[in-house]
A = this chain, B = another copy of it.
Amino acid sequence: MRHFLRLADAAPGGVRPLLERARAYREGHARVDFQGRILGLLFLAPSLRTRVSFECALHRAGGHALTLDAARGLWPLETRRGVRMDGTAVEHVDDAVAVLGRYVDALAVRAFARLEDDRDDHRDELFAALRERSPIPLVSMESGREHPCQALADVLTIERRHGPLAGRSVLLRWVPHVKPLPKAVANSFLLTAASLGARVTVAAPAEFDLEEGVWEEARTYAAVSGGDVVRCHERAIPPETVAVVAKSWGPHGAPQTLWRAGTHDDWRLGPRDFAAVPEASLLHCLPVRRNVEIEDALLDGPQSLILEEAADRLWVQQAVLAALWDSEERRHP
């Protein structure tokens, strides 16, 4: 694995080894050593969990993380090739990443979907440009299309509680919000669970469908892994579900434009929804709008694994970085 910008960089065969490595680190069966390693964190969008979990992933293993926040302090970056840079962009992203590649050992990047057009967002042009040019491994901290580290943490948390996902039913369940959100977390969970052989149901009101390209990729993984991916427009949690990943996202197509506040408030999750599935777990990537997306009683109740899920970010990110740096050493021994 040279980069980890989308699940396809590991999938389908590479997801299981990443999870095993993360679990070994978590349980102390293997030691990760990042002594002398520096990870750059380039934020083109804000963060709490992601930044802290990445910084701690490095420092807990003797390495160092260097946070660069482009929203403040950094100048605007040009992403188009061959243009005359006479506008506001001060530096070409090619040059920025080439220079950073001389100082740090890997670069993690976050840039959110703009929510004007799903197809634009899912094209991930910035990440494609970075990938082409970067002399060092790149890791996604969420792009327009995917948030692969989050999904790895999700499945690690679920498997720690419920065992291997192959053949198990999981529900990616849309919940309401006060504004349209990106689809990256939803896409990544669908892809990752499908690659592990889970039976994934995506339940959302009809106008909140995910992109067809993501469905196609998920179906490809499911065909290989023996899993299954299914669309559904029902609110109820199917009885065989072992884990419900709750997530809000914007309408399909042009999320900002099509958004109507307050519709589908009845999709909010609460203890009542979980009454029929007493063994099922609740996951949410956080931050969560309490009592808008999910009721307090469910978030703080015994079925909620939200804090376990956040904690697992650290271990999967250590696993991803270790795998990237191992591959690199094999290339340049």
Contacts and interface: CB of A to CB of B under 8 A. Distances in A.
Contacts of A307: 98-99, 102
A100 interface: yes
A155 to B, nearest CB: 18
5 contacts: A52-B104, A84-B290, A86-B289, A95-B287, A102-B314
Interface string A66-87: 1011011111001000111110
Interface of A: 36, 38, 40, 43, 46-49, 51-53, 55-56, 59-60, 64, 66, 68-69, 71-75, 78, 82-86, 90-92, 95-96, 98-100, 102-104, 178, 286-292, 296, 306-307, 310-311, 314
A268 to B, nearest CB: 10
Nearest to A49: B99
Contacts of A178: 86
A290 B80 CA distance: 11
User: How many identical chains are in the complex?
Assistant: 3
A310 B100 CA distance: 9
Given A38-B60, A59-B64, A73-B71, A92 B290 contact: yes
Interface of A (DSSP majority class)? mixed
Contacts of A46: 73-75
A255 B266 CA distance: 46
Contact of A290 (B49, B51, B85, B288): B85
User: Of residues A43, A53, A55, A72, which shows the largest number of chain B Cβ atoms within 10 Å of its Cβ?
Assistant: A55
Contacts of A60: 36, 38
A290 B290 CA distance: 47
A306 B40 CA distance: 21
A317 B46 CA distance: 30
A19 to B, nearest CB: 19
